[in-house]
């Protein structure tokens, strides 16, 4: 069945270091969305990428959608303690254009 995997599962960084999480889909996606979930919180939408090769930036966060629209990455420059949380990518399911399949998530811990 359709799968969306993320690596790494966990990442523990020193504040100020960079962080990257990678998302890989078993199928071609029409779009990829990224959500952040703080500890004890709920997923919050960060961004959506639609075009092949698209790159979007939000302050220290850079999001990229692969040329084949099967992979994506989120890069955080100079992490801060406020970046702590789990980052999920989510793509459209093959059986439905609007239902999402979530990646396995990458949990980011930041040492102050």
Partner 1 sequence: DAMVIQNPRYQVTQFGKPVTLSCSQTLNHNVMYWYQQKSSQAPKLLFHYYDKDFNNEADTPDNFQSRRPNTSFCFLDIRSPGLGDAAMYLCATSREGAAQETQYFGPGTRLLVL
> For binding to partner 1 (CB under 8 A), which residues are involved?
30-31, 33, 35, 41-45, 48, 50, 88, 92, 97-100, 102-105, 107
The distance of closest approach from Cβ of residue 111 to partner 1 in the complex, given in angstroms and rounded to an integer, is 20
Answer yes or no: are the C-beta atoms of 108 and 87 closer than 8 Å. Answer: yes
80 Cβ neighbours under 8 A, 6+ residues apart:
15, 60, 110
Beta carbon nearer to partner 1, 65 or 78 = 65
Nearer to partner 1, 45 or 58 (CB): 45
In the bound complex, what is the minimum distance in angstroms from residue 49's beta carbon to partner 1? 10
Shortest Å distance, C-beta 80 to partner 1:
23
Give the residue with the Cβ less far from partner 1, 77 or 104.
104
CA distance 87 to 111: 17
> 43-63 burial by CB neighbour count: b if 16+ within 10 A, else e?
beebeebeeeebebeeeebeb
Nearest approach, Cβ of residue 13 and partner 1 (Å): 18
How far apart are alpha carbons 103 and 45 in whole angstroms? 14
């Amino acid at each position: 069945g359709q799968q969306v995997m993320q690596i790494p599962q966990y990442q523990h960084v020193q504040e100020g270091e960079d962080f990257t999480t990678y998302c890989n889909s078993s199928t071609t996606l029409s779009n990829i969305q990224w959500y952040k979930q703080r500890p004890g919180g709920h997923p919050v939408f960060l961004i959506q990428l639609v075009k092949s090769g698209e790159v979007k930036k939000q302050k220290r966060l850079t999001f990229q959608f692969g040329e084949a629209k099967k992979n994506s990455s989120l890069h955080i420059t100079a992490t801060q303690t406020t970046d702590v949380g789990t980052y999920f990518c989510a793509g459209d399911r093959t059986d439905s254009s609007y239902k999402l399949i979530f990646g396995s998530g990458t949990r980011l811990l930041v040492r102050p």
